[in-house]
């Protein structure tokens, strides 16, 4: 239990622990996910450049779903990266303020605003990562259909063998994200509790 003369100590402890987990996710999971998904850009270019010819074999619907899903997945990468960097910076700002400011009323006013922003940022991260995981499932299914024509298409398109590598990468990413999402959802519950506790802090 936090000592009565330090009403914001529990916030500092909570943010320290949360930042450790966010940094671990960013360095251990997210950077690996990005490295697996970045080659999709080259794969998308190949599919688009041969779209008309590919459609004759697999159908326009498959090509359309494939390209739309890859674009959607690639569009998730920058926003998630930015939000992760934002929350790391916000965490540093919160901790620096708690540790430097002597006036606890000033700190409490600051926390009531910034901790809410911190948690809103985290909720966005969890939401986007969950959406990314769903899109990867759609892409996995679309590529499985695409891959059925591998024998024919690999003879016509030298790059078609990339499909196997892409399918393997997507499988790895989905597995990693599925595990991470369970932890992130638990973190989100704890984060929402922190917002409520900070809201209860009273000025002296």
Per residue of the chain (204 residues), give pLDDT as tens. 444 578 899 999 999 999 999 999 999 999 999 999 988 888 889 898 998 888 888 888 889 988 999 999 999 999 999 999 999 999 999 999 999 977 889 999 999 999 999 999 999 999 999 999 999 999 998 888 888 888 888 888 888 888 888 889 999 999 999 999 999 999 998 998 999 999 999 988
pLDDT at 11: 94
pLDDT value of residue 118: 96
pLDDT of residue 30: 95
Residues in the chain: 204
- Give pTM, 2 decimals: 0.89
């Amino acid at each position: 239990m936090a000592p009565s003369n330090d009403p914001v100590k529990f916030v500092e402890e909570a943010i320290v622990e949360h930042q450790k987990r966010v940094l671990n996710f960013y360095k251990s999971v997210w950077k690996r996910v990005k490295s697996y998904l970045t080659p999709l850009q080259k794969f998308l270019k190949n599919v688009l450049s041969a779209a008309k010819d590919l459609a004759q074999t697999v159908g326009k619907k498959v090509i359309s779903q494939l390209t739309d899903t890859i674009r959607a997945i690639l569009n998730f990468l920058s926003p998630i990266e930015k939000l992760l960097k934002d929350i790391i910076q916000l965490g540093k700002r919160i901790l620096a303020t708690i540790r430097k400011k002597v006036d606890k009323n000033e700190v409490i006013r600051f926390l009531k605003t910034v901790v809410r922003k911190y948690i809103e940022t985290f909720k966005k991260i969890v939401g986007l990562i969950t959406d990314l995981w769903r899109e990867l499932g759609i892409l996995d299914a679309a590529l499985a259909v695409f891959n059925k024509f591998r024998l024919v298409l690999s003879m016509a398109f030298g790059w078609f063998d990339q499909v196997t590598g892409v399918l393997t990468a997507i499988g790895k990413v989905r597995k990693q994200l599925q595990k991470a999402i369970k932890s992130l959802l638990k973190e989100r519950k704890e984060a929402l509790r922190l917002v409520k506790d900070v809201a209860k802090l009273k000025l002296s």
